[in-house]
Amino acid sequence: MPGIPLRARVGVTAGERKTLQDIVVCLVLHLDLRPAGATDDLAKTVDYDAVCGTVAEIVRSRPYHLIEAIAEEVAGTVLSDFDVAAVEVRVEKPGALRARGVPFAAVEIHRTRDG
């Protein structure tokens, strides 16, 4: 899922966390797609809409100081709630470095079910 646009309360300062800010969450899910591909059965893969809903719930659940914390929480929840072996999470914050002419700040993590 290359870019889930969301609004979050995220920032180091209290002022940043007062207003909703744009972020983009990108996910790569690692799982065996052969059963779903062979049967054309949604029950044998991950429901991507459900994953998007879960990510949105996490982002909206509370204010965050760091996009790193959002990435870790998303990764942990996806691994625990969905049948995936690993997940890559990228969180972009477009407004973070605007004053410096940088289009966005971002973090990217890769987490696996077995640690």
Contact between 61 and 1 under an 8 Å Cβ cutoff? The reply is: no
Contact between 94 and 41 under an 8 Å Cβ cutoff? The reply is: no
Query: Which of 93, 94, 99, 111 is flagged as catalytic?
Result: 93
Q: What angle do CA 106, 23, 84 make, to 5 degrees?
A: 75
Contact between 24 and 5 under an 8 Å Cβ cutoff? The reply is: yes
Concerning whether 18 is annotated as a catalytic residue, the answer is no
Q: Catalytic positions, please?
A: 93
